[in-house]
């Protein structure tokens, strides 16, 4: 198991990952809290735009991204479980699966934006789409960091850096990946479902 945040600081449990990743996760959550506040302020001022806005978005793209992220996150759960059993090969397979599914996100996003532009949904299409692009592209940036993190822990797993006794780095990548997943689970209904 990975080390606690500080010697003697934790007596009743264990914090997964490491201190640095939780500082980062806190910052990401605060950032998106602000962005979601922007969403609600804009929605309060332009209710009509938010009532009709989702009609022009490709629901299937949002749903596909949701399924990709959920399933990729599940693969990381299996990866962490595998390393806790010292099954390094299985760990690597699960991470690579998570990575492959995660890479589907920018791919779907590319086709979604191309489809949007073909249907007149660009940055001049109105307030709803401005907020949509701002939030979803910001999320894409954070997912890109997560993808890099998954690639990094895949390499580390491949060279035998993790074991049942020490896999804090792998846990850190997993909890960050789950964080991007949770944030998307708010973005999806806000922009693709709710009116």
Of the ranges 20-28, 76-84, 112-120, 168-176, which one interacts with other proteins (CB under 8 A)? 76-84
Using DSSP's 3-state secondary structure scheme, residue 57 falls into coil
Task: In angstroms, give the least distance from the CB of 170 to other proteins.
Answer: 16
DSSP state letter for 53: G
Q: Which of 6, 55, 118, 124 binds other proteins (CB under 8 A)?
A: 55
* CA gap 99, 188 in Å, rounded: 21
* CA gap 70, 100 in Å, rounded: 13
Q: Does 102 bind other proteins (CB under 8 A)?
A: no
Residue 25 CB contacts under 8 Å (≥ 6 apart), including other chains = 175, 176, 179
Task: In angstroms, give the least distance from the CB of 7 to other proteins.
Answer: 26
Q: Does 67 bind other proteins (CB under 8 A)?
A: yes
Residues 133-192 that bind other proteins (CB under 8 A): 185, 188-189, 192
* CA gap 30, 28 in Å, rounded: 5
Using DSSP's 3-state secondary structure scheme, residue 82 falls into helix
Q: Which of 5, 15, 35, 77 binds other proteins (CB under 8 A)?
A: 77
| Interface pattern 35-54 for other proteins (x via CB under 8 A) | ----------------x--x
Q: Which of 70, 100, 164, 165 binds other proteins (CB under 8 A)?
A: 70
Task: In angstroms, give the least distance from the CB of 171 to other proteins.
Answer: 13
Question: Do you know the residue count of the chain?
Answer: 195
Beta carbons of 48 and 105 less than 8 angstroms apart: no
Nearest to 187 by CA among 21, 57, 46, 49: 57
Q: Which of 46, 74, 115, 133 binds other proteins (CB under 8 A)?
A: 74
Q: Residues in the site for other proteins, rule: CB under 8 A? A: 51, 54-55, 59-60, 62-63, 66-67, 70-71, 73-74, 77-78, 81, 185, 188-189, 192-195
């Amino acid at each position: 198991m990975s080390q606690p945040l500080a010697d003697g600081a934790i007596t009743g449990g264990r914090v997964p990952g490491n201190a640095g990743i939780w500082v980062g996760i806190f910052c990401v959550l605060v950032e998106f809290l602000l962005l979601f506040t922007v969403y609600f302020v804009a929605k309060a001022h332009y209710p009509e735009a938010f009532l009709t806005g989702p009609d022009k978005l490709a629901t299937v793209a949002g749903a596909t991204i949701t399924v990709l992220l959920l399933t990729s996150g599940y693969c990381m759960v299996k990866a962490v479980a595998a390393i806790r059993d010292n099954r390094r090969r299985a760990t690597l397979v699960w991470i690579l699966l998570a990575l492959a599914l995660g890479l589907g996100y920018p791919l779907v996003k590319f086709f979604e934006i191309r489809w949007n532009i073909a249907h007149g949904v660009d940055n001049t299409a109105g307030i709803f789409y401005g907020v949509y692009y701002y939030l979803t592209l910001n999320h894409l940036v954070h997912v890109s960091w997560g993808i890099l993190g998954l690639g990094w822990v895949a390499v580390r797993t491949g060279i035998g850096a993790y074991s049942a006794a020490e896999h804090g780095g792998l846990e850190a990548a997993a909890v960050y990946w789950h964080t991007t997943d949770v944030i998307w689970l708010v973005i999806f209904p806000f922009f693709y479902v709710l009116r």
